[in-house]
Chains A and B, each alone.
Chain A
Amino acid sequence: MVVPDTGRVEAFGSRLAPHTPREAIRRGVGMVLQHFALVPVFTALENIVLGAEPVSALGVIDLASARRKAEAVAKELGVDLPLDATVESLGVGDRQRLEIARALFRDAKLLILDEPTAVLTKGEVLALYATLRRLADAGTGVVVVTHKMDEVRAHADFVTVMRRGEVLFTREMDRSAGADVDAQVDEVTAAIMGAGAAKPGTRDDKPEAATEKGREVVLSLSRVSVGRALSDVSLEVHAGEIVGVAGVEGNGQRELVAVLAREVHPDSGEVTGASAAIIREDRQVEGLVLDATLRDNAVLGELGTFTNKVGLLDLGALEAEAATRIARSGAGADLDRTARSLSGGNQQKVVVARALARVGAKRARALVAAQPTRGVDIGASHDIHARLREAAAGGAGVLILSADLDELRALCNRVLVLARGRIVADLPPTTSDEELGRRMLGVADPNARPEAAS
């Protein structure tokens, strides 16, 4: 679905060309997406044959032969598929098995699953891996994309670690008797977290933690719950303090930002404090109007403050303010450029400058930054970090949500860990990568592990 800019993709020893889903399926690559691609009103059988319908000579879909083949696939999978039930009546576990059956129906020899266990219960997870193991033993290649280390520990034969779009290494998991699987998993965890990348010196210019005590609380959540995404979250950010929220994506960050932006009303609990300036996670979707000029983007949503008594915009004042902000952002000086024409780093600088202008203008005493340097080059990243520190030094309370531990370590006075919608830890930034990583990935408390207890 995405064509690479450079490089080549090979499937079973030869280049995948044309680079299309159809060709990949023809070559025997089966893909099970995190968000299922099933038609809810069709039956399980109809979904299985979708796009690969066996047709009789007259061009009519031959459901009888499809059923025979689907039943054979189900038998091979060792599962019982309710072929005549509509998909909307099936649970997620059944839907997942259906997706796998669909791939096998097309004679997939390589099965790729993206976060397959995200929505499954514990029992379903075990059943899924039992199925995958059977397939692997029968000669099918199985690739599972996951961030759950427990699953790696229990099931993987080989592990490939990817971090920031780069493959770090691929290693075999040694499961022979006497091999220390936990130690191997710890190494993998460390690699994911970017251990050893801690930059000495970056911590020195962090605001003094000691002076935060007794300062005013500018942002606070008290026992906030939102649906199944956030449960019982409490946190406080003081003026002049930078607080980090570490966590693997999809553990409630989105909802946390929405609550702080006052866009989602919590089911229970309380949000207090100043309204916060927000740096959104996805600058291209929520942060900027890409086809609009930098002028418009610099003051996005603030046109009301530039409207004069007769209802016209004060274009001079708007121009001056936009120019000041863009100049301060360091993203160039041409206000007529569209945001789209900027690099990711410069786009983010514009977003950051806008948010900081609001903090500076005393309209907001708090700043919430979600993934402030994601997909941003190192130079821009340093720049943005410096700005965030300045905001805190200027008396704002700053909350940073990030999946990048190096970033949190470099900026924060303390780091909260968000896992499965809960704040599971409040740690100093000096906490080891292994420790943070374990908390983020929801691995059991190390103290409960036998070797730590001994």
Chain B
Amino acid sequence: MKLTSSRSLPAAVAGLAVGWLAFCVLVWLYGASPRAMAGLVLEGTWGTSYGAGQVLFKATPLLFTGIAVDLALRAGLFNIGAEGQLAVGSLAAGVIGAHLPSGTPALVALPLALAGAMAAGALWALVPALLKGRFGAHEVISTIMMNRIADSAVGLALGAGGLALTGTVRTADVVPGARVARLDTWLPSLKGSAASFALLFGIAGTFLVTESYRRTRFGREIGLIGQNARAMAAEKVPVRARLEQALVVSGAIAGAASLGTVLGYKGYFEEGLGAGAGFGGLAVAILGRGSAVGLVFAALLFGTLQQGGLAVNAFVPKELMDVLTGVVVCAVALADEAIGRHSAMARRTAAETVVS
């Protein structure tokens, strides 16, 4: 899969068109009117300020995991493990946040909790990174396995490890200094929604990461490695180390998604909090593809679908929206491939014209 951004826009449009068709067909199969359902989705999301706030809330972790997956994808690696990296990162954020002295100022507490979450995510990604770099194990397999291990390990740590409050599957509340403020403290109209300033961190992070693709040696090199690792190796670029680093950085960013769940929403970690955001990040990355605007847009889109599912739940199952997410991702990937093939053919034709 090529990751140049030049042809991702038509692919995204094609993907969305197919997604809309799938929505119509599915809704119609359930005996509901596509037009009415679409109306409900819009009304339940962007129709009210509360709905819009909930979309922003749902989009926040997706944005983090989206950048995480995108960074790895740039290096040609599929990080399917954002789910597990986020789980251990969230646990770390919850535990660290809860164990700080209660009077810790936000300037200390929040960075500490965030650093802990990112370190835990990075550590979780380090295993597949080393397996890939040292032994050539495929990162798709090993990151999936690490997801399963994270599932059990987090449960064990909470229960047998004694990190949870007795009789529950949640940590104690994090200290006030480690909390991320709700957006409604700033925009009163969002009152009641769970959107937090974590979203702004996420947007800033997105621009930071995509800018690093151009402006830093690491970012630029992983992009080139993703396109032709052999040429980079021939130029003495440490390809193996870069791949390992890319996966570890990706894990750290996935861990940072706990800003939107643990620190910005619940104020503690409980088993299952943020589940699904890691896989959602795959969808965001594939749709957003290396551009900051694209990634933010994709996170908002899938956030809208999630929230919209709740709005139509009375008429059609909300899982329909998950199906839709899958359809859009597949369609984008397909369209991308098709457009790629088409332009390769066009190039060849052009080259022949030049030669003759």
**Interface residue ranges, A against B (CB under 8 Å):** 5, 261, 278, 280, 285-292, 296, 300-304, 306-307, 311-313, 315, 340-341, 343
A351, closest chain B residue (CB): B231
User: Please, how many residues of chain B have a CB less than 8 angstroms from a CB on the other chain?
Assistant: 24
Besides A300-B224, A313-B216, 15 other CB < 8 A contacts? A5-B352, A280-B234, A286-B230, A287-B231, A289-B224, A289-B228, A289-B232, A291-B227, A296-B224, A300-B231, A300-B235, A307-B216, A311-B216, A315-B214, A315-B215
Q: Are B215 and A313 in contact (CB under 8 A)?
A: yes
* Distance of B246 from chain A, by nearest CB (Å): 15
Chain B contacts of A306 at CB under 8 A? Answer: 217
Determine whether the beta carbon of A303 is less than 8 Å from that of B220: yes
Q: Indicate if the CB atoms of B4 and A285 lie closer than 8 Å.
A: no
CB <8 Å contact, B227 and A301: no
Are B234 and A287 in contact, CB atoms less than 8 angstroms apart? yes
In the assembled complex, how far is the CB of residue A84 from the closest CB belonging to chain B, in whole angstroms? 34
Using CB atoms, name the residue of chain B closest to A291.
B227
Q: How far is the CB of A257 from chain B (nearest CB, A)?
A: 10
Q: Across the interface, which residues of A come within 8 angstroms of B217, CB to CB?
A: 303-304, 306-307, 311, 313
User: Is there a chain A Cβ closer than 8 Å to B347's Cβ?
Assistant: yes
- B348's closest neighbor in chain A, by CB? A5
Closest to B3 in A: A291
| CB pairs A–B below 8 angstroms (12 shown) | A280-B234, A288-B231, A290-B227, A291-B4, A292-B227, A292-B228, A301-B235, A306-B217, A311-B217, A313-B216, A313-B217, A343-B351
A288-B231, A290-B228 are known contacts. Are A343 and B355 too (CB-CB below 8 A)?
Answer: yes
The reply to whether B228 and A296 form a contact with Cβ atoms under 8 Å apart is no
B residues near A289, Cβ cutoff 8 Å: 224, 227-228, 231-232
The residues of A that contact B139 with a CB separation of less than 8 Å are none
Contact partners of B352 in chain A: CB under 8 A: 5
In the complex, what residues of B have CB within 8 A of residue A302's CB? 235
Instruction: Specify which chain A residues have a CB less than 8 angstroms from the CB of B2 in the assembled complex.
Output: 291
Assess the A285–B232 pair: CB atoms within 8 A: no
Nearest A residue to B344 by beta-carbon distance? A340
Cβ B237 vs Cβ A301 within 8 A? yes
A278: nearest chain-B partner, CB-CB: B234
Contact B215 A301 (CB under 8 A): no
Q: Are A341 and B231 in contact (CB under 8 A)?
A: no
Instruction: Choose among A5, A312, A340 the residue that contacts B347 (Cβ–Cβ < 8 A).
Output: A340
B216 and A300 within 8 A (CB): no
**CB neighbors of A among B191-245 (8 A):** 214-217, 220-221, 223-224, 227-228, 230-232, 234-237
Task: Tell me how far the C-beta of A17 lies from the nearest C-beta in chain B, rounded to whole angstroms.
Answer: 20
**Pair B227/A285 contact, Cβ less than 8 Å:** no
Q: Is the CB of B4 within 8 A of A301?
A: no
CA distance A228 to B237 in the complex (A): 28
Contacts of B355 in A (CB 8 A): 343
* Interface assignment of B354: CB less than 8 Å from any CB of chain A: yes
CA distance A341 to B220 in the complex (A): 21
In the complex, chain A residues whose CB is within 8 Å of the CB of B347: 340-341
What's the Cα separation between A189 and B223 when bound, in Å?
47
Residues of chain A with a CB closer than 8 A to B228's CB: 285, 288-292
Q: Which residues 223-272 in B have Cβ within 8 Å of A in the complex?
A: 223-224, 227-228, 230-232, 234-237
Residue numbers in A under 8 Å from B354 (CB-CB): 343
Which B residues lie within 8 Å of A285 (CB)?
A: 228, 230-231
- Please give me the residue from chain B that is nearest to A306 by CB atom: B217
A304 — which chain B residues lie within 8 A by C-beta?
217
CA of A326 to CA of B214 in the docked complex: distance in angstroms?
Answer: 20
Partner of A296, one of B216, B220, B351: B220
Alpha-carbon distance A27/B2, docked complex (angstroms): 38
Docked CA distance A341–B351 (Å): 8
- Judging by beta carbons under 8 Å apart, are A312 and B231 in contact? no
Could you tell me the distance between the alpha carbons of A289 and B224 in the complex, rounded to whole angstroms?
7
B236 touches A301 (CB 8 A): yes
* B residues in contact with A291, CB < 8 Å: 2, 4, 227-228
Alpha-carbon distance A311/B219, docked complex (angstroms):
11
| Shortest distance from the beta carbon of A19 to any chain B beta carbon, whole Å | 16
Which residues of chain B are within 8 angstroms of A343 by Cβ–Cβ distance? 351, 354-355
Min CB distance B236 to A, Å, is 6
How far is it, in angstroms, between the C-alpha of A312 and the C-alpha of B237 when the chains are bound? 17
**Chain A residues, Cβ within 8 Å of B4:** 291
Inter-chain contact A312/B224, CB cutoff 8 Å: no
Complex CA distance for A340 and B345, rounded to whole angstroms = 12
For B316-356 the 0/1 string (1 means CB < 8 A from A) is 00000000000000000000000000000001000110110
